[in-house]
Amino acid sequence: MKEYLNETLYSLKRSKIRVFTALAKSTPGCIGLTLGEPDFDTPAEIEAEVQTAFDNHETHYIANNGTAELRAKIAEFEHDRYGMDYTADEVVITAGATEALFVSLYSVLNPGDEVIIPAPAFSLYREQVEMCRGRCVLMDISRTGFQIDENVLNGLINERTKAILLNSPNNPSGGILNRNSLDIIHRAVKDRNIFVICDDVYRQLVYIDDYHSMMEYRDLREKLILVQSFSKPYAMTGWRMGYLCADAKVMPLIQLVHQFMVTSTPAPFQRACIRALDCDVAPFRDEYRRRRDFVRKRLAEIGLETPAMEGGFYAFPSIEKFGMSDDEFCTRMIREAGLAAIPGSDFGVEGHIRLTYCYSSEELKEGFDRLEKFVRSLEK
C-alpha cells in the first residue's frame, strides 16, 4: 500500500526533541532540559473563564475564524501594545502557532516554491514547508553572529523564492534579530513578491530594551503574516490556542484553509484568551530572566561558548571543541551524566546543543552541575 500514500510524507523526520525527551524519560534519574514547557500553571483568572463559558453553555459552533469578541480584542491588543493596524477581520484564531504556520505556508506556496529560513530554526518549519510541497532553503546565521548577512541572503533569493520565515526571539538560540538584520530583509523583499512570515511567539519574553520585529515595517503590510500563540507567555501550552494576522488581500484564502482544516478553535476557550490578553506576564518574564542569568553564568563557568540569550527560554552552547557530533554528545550525556539536551542538528546547525531553562531552580542547578561534570570528563 505504500505506493498509494502521499510521497511527500516519506521525507519527514521525527523531531529529535521527542526522540531525546523519550530517551531521557526511559533513563532512570535523568534530568531532561529538553521541552519548551513552562513550569508555571496557567493563571487562575484565565482558567476561571472556561468555567464561565460552561456555565453559559458556550459549547456550540462559533464562527470559523473565532468569536468576534476575541478577534476584536486581539486587534486592539496588537494595536495598543505593538502599533499594528489590523482589523478584527484580519485575525484568525488558530490551533496554536503550529496551525497558524501551516495555514500561512499552505496559503502562499505552490509546488516547488522556496522558503528561506535563517538557521538555527525550529525543525517544524522545514517539515511543514515540505508538507506544503515547497522547498526549504536554510540560511546558516550561526557563523555571522546569529544575524543576517546581506550578501548571503541576496545570494539565496531567486525566482522561486516565495517567503522568508523568521523567528525572533529565536528557538533554539534565544537570539534576537537586530535592526540591521531586519533592514537587510526589508531591502531584499520590498520590490519582490516575497512574503515574510513572522513567528513572534516569544515576543513577550524579551530581556533587552531594543527589540524590534519585522512586523514594524508597515510598508510591507500586504506581504507580512504574523503568527502568535498563547502557549508560552501565558503558560497555556496544552490549550493549543494561537492566532495569525494578515492583510485583507490575502486573508480570504487563509481563512478558507483554516476552515477546512479545523472548522474553528474550541468555543469555551475564546473567553479565556480574551482574559489572557489582559494578564501581566511580567512575573513570568522576570523569573525567566533570573533563570537566564543563572544559566548564562554557569555556561561561562563551564567554558561553553554560547550566543546571546536575549529572549525566550533557550540556550544554544557550542560543543564543537569536543570533536564529536551533537547526536553523540547528547546520547552520551544522557547515559553518562543523566542529563538530556537536544542536538543542534535538529535545528539545522551542527555542533551545538539546546538547553531549556523554563524549569525549576532546583532542576537547573542539578542539571548544570551534571553538565559541568560531563564536560570535565570529556576534557580529561
**Each residue of 251-280: pLDDT tens digit?**
999 999 999 999 999 999 999 999 999 999
Cross-strand bridge partners of residue 173: none
Instruction: Record the pTM.
Output: 0.95
Task: Provide the percentage of residues in the chain whose pLDDT is more than 70.
Answer: 99
Query: Using CA atoms in the order 360, 363, 365, 366, what is the torsion angle rounded to 10 degrees?
Result: 170
DSSP state of 347: G
**Check: CATH 3.90.1150.10 for 2-42+281-379?**
yes
89 or 12: which carries more pLDDT confidence? 89
Tens-place pLDDT, residues 316-345: 999 999 999 999 999 999 999 999 999 999
Hey, what amino acid is at 35? Answer: L
Q: How confident is the model at residue 26 (pLDDT cuts 50, 70, 90)?
A: very high
Element (H, E) at 38: none
Topology match between the domains 2-42+281-379 and 44-276: no
How many of the other CB atoms lie within 10 Å of CB of 294? 15
**Helix pair 269-276, 44-55: axis angle to 10 deg:** 150
The count of C-alpha atoms lying within 13 angstroms of the C-alpha of 33, restricted to the half-sphere facing its C-beta, is: 33
354 is written with which cell numbers? Answer: 539546546
Alpha helices in the chain (DSSP H): 16-25, 44-55, 68-82, 96-108, 123-131, 150-156, 179-189, 251-262, 269-276, 282-302, 326-337, 361-379
Specify whether the CB–CB gap between 247 and 224 falls below 8 A: yes
Closest CA to 265 of 92, 144, 73, 149: 92
Q: Residue ranges of the domains in the chain?
A: 2-42+281-379, 44-276
Hey, what amino acid is at 321? Answer: K
> Could you tell me which CATH class the domain 44-276 is placed in?
alpha beta
Whether the ω angle into residue 266 lies within 30 degrees of 0, i.e. cis, is: no
Q: How confident is the model at residue 1 (pLDDT cuts 50, 70, 90)?
A: low
3-state secondary structure at position 225? strand
> Does position 43 have pLDDT exceeding 80, yes or no?
yes
Closest CA to 142 of 356, 349, 303, 334: 349
Closest CA to 248 of 94, 106, 85: 85
Specify whether the CB–CB gap between 250 and 107 falls below 8 A: yes
117 is written with which cell numbers? Answer: 529560513
What pLDDT, on the 0 to 100 scale, is given for residue 6? 87
